[in-house]
Structure 1
Amino acid sequence: MLPYQPRGLKYFLRTKEEMKQTIETIMKRESTDIITLDFLMVIAPTEQAQKVLKHVLRVRSQTNEQLKQLYYEITGEILGVDQETFNRPDDFTSGIQEQIELQNIRVRRLENLHQQSISAQIGQQRVSYVMYEEKRILGRLKFLVE
């Protein structure tokens, strides 16, 4: 006879695995996004745009660290990030528009991660903070092309 396993434990473990996979997916573009945002800051047409992007980079670094810490809490492992190839944007505006599209995807994935964190009862406050800050980043990027 198999040992007794509480019903909720299987669900809890599945949700933790889903969270792990979601964080890995979100973080896959970490290096490429930082390089792209840094490049856009260098070619920004105004000092105001440079300041906005500098702030975005600082916040993104903080949210990435929060996600890495959550990953460690879930798995006990340090997150290894695959780096995608940097593709230089043709110009500032098209680069920002591409970042907006990618940021929308990131926010949707964070919303999914938030639901998973509620189900697993792990890292809810951390994920809420990251999601809030990443939505603010989206607003700042949109401001740059208005």
Structure 2
Amino acid sequence: MSDRFSVPVAVQALLVRDGRLLTLRRAGTGHRDGELGLPAGHLEGGEDAVAGLVREVAEEVGVDLEREACRLAVTLHTAAESATDREHLHLFFAVDGWSGEPRIGEPGKCSGLAWVDPDDPPVDLIDYVRSAVDAWSAGRPLVLHGWAA
């Protein structure tokens, strides 16, 4: 069983206010620094996907999500980006309710927050996040990114 395939799972929050999507500028992480992403992170062992989402969003942007307001919107399967990377499974949740005002919760990993138009995202939005946001807007629940056709 130790040779069984496993894949890291990331959870990502689609937080919308007044028609604008919350993004954060990555910094100091070594992965996609300088690009815009969503409040997100990897699941830890022993937590369900919504619990991981709630934890990551609280850490990254300081807001408390209402668990029942988190709806799975898009599942994204990304190929490895390099020889040292692994493929990932990303679960994007549309969140209809939270408390608190978004702020930078991890200044060593984020240099700024921006509310963007999800129908016209900025060019520096991470490419696989852009794919998921486009799919969310179109009502497509599954995206495959970076795989040879």
Per the TM superposition, whether the score is higher than 0.5 is no
- Structure number with the higher helix fraction is 1
Whose relative contact order is higher, 1 or 2, with alpha carbons under 8 Å and at least 6 apart? 1
Give the TM-score range, shorter chain. Answer: under 0.3
Q: Which structure has the greater CA radius of gyration? A: 1
TM-score (norm 2): 0.26
- Structure number with the higher strand fraction is 2
TM-score (norm 1): 0.27
